[in-house]
A and B are shown apart, each in its own frame.
Chain A
């Protein structure tokens, strides 16, 4: 079997890692395809955490023990959830034409991303500049190779970047026997396919399923168009987007305060924070907004379910950095409040130019137009919108930290980092309540919050 095929096949082990958790009856409403995608996300987070802990403790990575240990952790999480049943959505009364149309357009968008990737039209230079070399070295060393990152002339490898993407790439490279550069780019269409398969189930649980399929399809179309235009194949942006979009969809759902949803959202938030630096900003914004709109999220146990996975994953990473004296925290771009305020106008003008150059800004304008068509009623529905706004402001804040090659910096990064903003805006257009769904049939759970559903 060719190394490239084995590399891609390794990603099929991720749903296996997360399956014990997602097999819990509490997730029964999501359907098989959606649960498979959610298993992959949860499995990826647990696997990456185990790889980081292995590196921290000096245990050499091995595919069999990593997979078995990840399944064991997933099983433990399932046991911790206790008894929690799930209500089934009532069968649809009308033919699901819109759903079929939405799925067809989503499939076409994923096919477009695959076509662009296979023809080498969407490859990110960052794959070759740091994601790939690190993963290749880590796979060869069977650990996060601190000496490699400390080596002279390797300072450009961004040693402080969180570990999930390089861990997953290294895991796949171990199975492949080497790092196949072309196959690594396929993680972009894979992430898009995962979004297309997972979002309709997440958005449609307890809400109108036809609208869920349509809104998912808009989100996937935005992600594919921007991913192809800004070349994200092989870098961490597609994987970050997958975690962010799924976490936002979970937090915006009507049953978001159930322990099972909080735990799953917590795992996906951890995935975002462990994928790229800006994932932490997303986590903080999303959790803060969730706490504002849903009083049950302010309970200590709910906050723990949401934030503990991120805390554990990042603590392990920073402990590894400190122990090996590679980094203490994110190196960033200097002191937090040392800003070049005079650059604000230039930043906003350049950003507008970059973002409106893609299809006249339609990935951003269409979801906003959709909000005008259907004003929001449910408070949870505002979470993706305000998270999108928070991220947009955070990126401007980040750009304010440098005036060295500022226009060039925005040119090579803005389209990629603002893609989640477009996708979150699309998710925010989801209508609130389903007219054809049953109330979840929740039974006593040891994690259930007082005053819950």
Chain B
């Protein structure tokens, strides 16, 4: 084994050990492994999506196939609604998910086409219809369309 090989081997191992040592503090405590996270986003950089994920997952059983659904937020946040629409598309397969916002701008005329409303956050001041589900992350409503 040449001295160059030895130097590279030692330096690479030392470098890898340093990177591993720097990785460990970024990890959640080991005890967190004992309890499965409620959503895949609980401790990620996108943890702000965890409540919407949990609510939409919980809403699925009360939303019939092919239902027209919109996902919005309370208080109204068009930027968040942009993303919650995409969460709805992902987590509600078989339903027609209509955006409550596009490109960060509210689109009430589109959202009004939905029979079912999933509201992330606190319950709306004016109930949009019949309450189907209430949980800490939000509420699900069915409204009568004209």
Chain A residues close to B by CB (< 8 Å): 94, 98, 101-102, 105-106, 108-109, 112, 115-116, 118-125, 127-130, 132-133, 136-137, 140, 153-154, 156, 179, 181-182, 185, 208, 210-211, 213-215, 217-218, 220-222, 224-225, 228-231, 233-234, 359, 362-363, 366-367, 369-370, 373-374, 426, 429-431, 435-436
Contact = CB atoms under 8 A, between A and B. Distances in A.
Given A98-B9, A208-B1, A228 B16 contact: no
A221 B49 contact: no
Nearest to B31: A119
10 contacts: A116-B27, A119-B42, A120-B44, A124-B44, A128-B53, A213-B9, A214-B8, A218-B19, A225-B23, A362-B19
Contacts, number: 186
Interface stretch (B79-87, B124-132, B138-146): B79-87
A153 B16 contact: no
A228 B22 CA distance: 11
Interface of B: 1-2, 4-5, 7-13, 15-20, 22-24, 26-28, 30, 32-33, 37, 39-46, 49, 53, 83, 85-87, 89-91, 93, 97-99, 102
Chain A interface, >50% SS class: helix
A154 B2 CA distance: 58
A128 B87 contact: yes
A237 to B, nearest CB: 14
Contact of B8 (A133, A181, A225, A370): A370
Contact of B27 (A98, A115, A125, A136): A115
B4 A105 contact: no
Nearest to B15: A366
B15 A218 contact: yes
A170 B10 CA distance: 43
Nearest to A366: B15
A220 B95 CA distance: 41
A224 B46 contact: no
Contact of B28 (A121, A225, A367, A436): A121
Contact of B49 (A98, A125, A137): A125
